[in-house]
Structure 1
Amino acid sequence: MESIHQILDVIHLSSQKDILATIIDVQGSAYRKEGTSMLFKEEGTRVGLLSAGCIEDDLAERVKDLFNDGLSQTIVFDMRAEDDFSWGQGAGCNGVLRVLLEPIGHRLRSHLHTLETYLEAGKSVVIMKKLTHDYSVTDYIFLTEDHQLFGEWQGSIPARIKCLLDSRSPIVKSGIIYMEELSAPVYLHHYQPKPRLIIFGAGQDAIPLVQFASKAGFSVLVSDWRPALCNKDNFPSATECIVDFPVAAIKQIHFRPDDHVIVLTHNFKRDQELLQLLANEKLGYLGVLGSRARTLRLLSNGEDLGNIRTPVGLPIGAEGPEEIAISIVADLIRVKRLQKNSKMDAMR
């Protein structure tokens, strides 16, 4: 799960001083990659992780001096050493990390709230930060997929970034690049909305699925025609619960090409109706709980399964609601990563 969504929730509700820590450069191997963020609050609370616990305590001490001076700075952690006398304390991760520390003032807090608004609306956003020779931040700007700009930026936007915005899929490889137009290095990162999982069916086996998927970073919508099952008491981590029959429920959902959909009502006619209604939707993932033979019977006129994943989930021999939920979420993560990597390859 990308911690930025949890961080944005905390920042929005915070009245305290906060420090945003972001990995902006990785040389070699590391536990987390460029774009990973973590929040340090003045009272000691931490949100997110930048490593396997190797650098967080050190950062917690360093940020104490930043709460009042309001200046950003970048810390370099060399994790390559294998002896206990080096900073890495024998971690031997074979990587060098640059971590940018930014105090969150009023203006940045406001812009991060705007970022959260766009992400919740399902829109991706690119951040560009202009850096000095020692990698502190002088300017930053957010660029949305529908060409909206907000931030603190002096001067014109580089042509290279404008070309990025003109593309239909502004996929950015996170990290630092040097821009001739600015005569300075810049840090780029592509913030993605939470992936959305839509579950049709609110039985007992949907409860762990919603729990695990939410913890894995999915925004989960649950739909069922039975109000006694489909409610926030049963699914507190769900973003939304739609109580309605399939035809009416689907009319309330604006499907996106990257949506993940699972059908598990355990009612043959409802499952059949849902698959007919979903047949013309462009989805990133469509899975049906149950055997392949049952799913074939759900399809009228003997249609081919096409892109339907059935039985849904990775084939790990799962038994019971919890294990089946784990197998499904694992497959969702696998497919999500494959889709992201294919997009990145297409842009290279």
Structure 2
Amino acid sequence: MKELIQILGQLKRLLNSGESFALATVVFVEGSAYRRPGARMLIDENGNWWGGISGGCLEGDLLKKAQLAMRQQTIKNITYDTREDDPFQLGIGLGCQGLIEIIIDPIRAHVEQVAEQLHICLDSGLAHTLQSTWEGSNFSIQAVADTSGSFTQEGNKQIFVEQIPANTRIWIVGNQFDAISLIQLCQQLAWEVHWVGNKLKMNPSVRDSVQACYDWNDDLLVRNTDCLVLMSHDFDRDVEFLSNQYAVDKWSYVGILGPNKRMDRILKQIPTLQVNLLSSPIGLDIGAEGPDEIAISIVSEILAVKNGRNGQSLKHKKGSIHL
């Protein structure tokens, strides 16, 4: 999501300029590949690019093809087949063995449509499914109900269906120094951070960098895709927060900092609490020590929960890495 936000930021600048640019989109992958369908790469006429379609091995070649598409102002379909280490093919020495199909679109009006739809998706805070259709020189993009995700081609008509997830919005409750480490890590991922605590005790520079700040008793407008991390280091504060209208089933993730004994005390205070919806102790078991490592553990668990994964080492996973 961070990459998509960066691309949209650069697109805003390019669309307000007279520069040429192209947007490359991965529409199909077969076998092993570093990126999945929906990955994008924005290229300007000066050879700068944002985003990516691989781990760095294909971008240089795609840049040349995108510059040609810009000069000709024609849509181009590119296929990279890295399934064989053929010394006469681009795939030699690449870490992934897969087939990747990419559409490069240099038409300003087309990219404007894409930017508009992506902004709508991100601003809504909800997941969306978008369908892009190329047919000759014509292009359209729209939200659809289909959630399967696919790429089909019939003659000169190409249809790409993709899922745009909701950007992660996290509420961090507490203003101790360990909250700052978590805030900064979430910001690196371009997550939308909302900070709850005593505003007078919040670090001013960090307070000014988050999406919004709230005092302990302020009303919070919560979406069911939001994540909550309680790290107030104040038992009574946590009990009060969990006892009010912010029921745990309103969140996609609820994590509470502290040991099992602390959680047992909370349950004695709130026996109706849906403990199966809580992560406490919080985070993945990676032996984290100190605020920065604990922040990594927490963010890793949030990603695992949101993506339906168990947090195991990939070497133990059977089958494809990507579901």
TM-score by length of 1: 0.79
Deviation at 1:230, TM superposition (A): 5.6
User: 1:95 maps to which residue?
Assistant: 98
User: 1:186 aligned to 2:159?
Assistant: yes
Q: How does 1:216-231 map to 2 (within 5 A)?
A: 216-229=189-202, 231=204
Q: 1:290 to 1:121 in 2, by over 3 A?
A: same
1:81/1:91 contact within 8 Å kept: no
Deviation at 1:104, TM superposition (A): 4.8
SS of 1:33's equivalent?
coil
2:22/2:66 contact within 8 Å kept: yes
TM-score by length of 2: 0.84
SS of 1:227's equivalent?
helix
Q: 1:192 to 1:296 in 2, by over 3 A?
A: same
User: 2:241 maps to which residue?
Assistant: 274
Q: 1:138 to 1:91 in 2, by over 3 A?
A: same
- What amino acid is the match of 1:171? T
Deviation at 1:57, TM superposition (A): 0.5
Q: Gaps (5+ residues) in structure 2?
A: 310-323
1:109 to 100, 107, 112: 112
User: 1:26 maps to which residue?
Assistant: 29
User: 1:234 aligned to 2:206?
Assistant: yes
SS of 1:242's equivalent?
strand
User: 2:41 maps to which residue?
Assistant: 38
Distance 1:4 1:204 in 2: 30
Q: How does 1:1-348 map to 2 (within 5 A)?
A: 1=1, 3-14=3-14, 15=17, 16-91=19-94, 93-106=96-109, 108-109=111-112, 111-132=114-135, 138-143=138-143, 165=145, 170-173=146-149, 175-177=150-152, 184-229=157-202, 231=204, 233-234=205-206, 238=210, 240-245=211-216, 247-248=217-218, 251=219, 253-277=220-244, 278-279=246-247, 281-299=249-267, 300-303=269-272, 305-338=275-308
Q: 1:313 to 1:64 in 2, by over 3 A?
A: same
CA RMSD of aligned residues (A): 2.5
Q: 1:294 to 1:19 in 2, by over 3 A?
A: same
1:19/1:102 contact within 8 Å kept: yes
Distance 1:322 1:288 in 2: 17
Distance 2:137 2:300 in 1: 37
Distance 2:4 2:116 in 1: 12
Count the aligned residue pairs.
Answer: 303
Q: Gaps (5+ residues) in structure 1?
A: 144-160, 340-348
Distance 2:195 2:156 in 1: 50
Distance 1:223 1:211 in 2: 15
Distance 2:117 2:100 in 1: 28
Distance 2:213 2:241 in 1: 14
Distance 2:142 2:48 in 1: 27
2:248/2:278 contact within 8 Å kept: no
SS of 2:308's equivalent?
helix
Distance 1:327 1:280 in 2: 21
Distance 1:111 1:80 in 2: 31
SS of 1:3's equivalent?
helix
Deviation at 1:295, TM superposition (A): 2.4
**% same residue:** 29
Distance 2:295 2:276 in 1: 23
- What amino acid is the match of 2:69? L
1:19/1:40 contact within 8 Å kept: yes
Deviations 1:195-228 (A, max 9, x none): 2111111321112212222333422222222334
2:25/2:102 contact within 8 Å kept: yes
Q: After TM superposition, what 4+ stretches of structure 1 lie above 4 angstroms from structure 2?
A: 301-304
Q: 1:237 to 1:11 in 2, by over 3 A?
A: farther
2:77/2:102 contact within 8 Å kept: yes
User: 1:146 maps to which residue?
Assistant: none
Deviation at 1:191, TM superposition (A): 1.7
Deviation at 1:271, TM superposition (A): 1.6
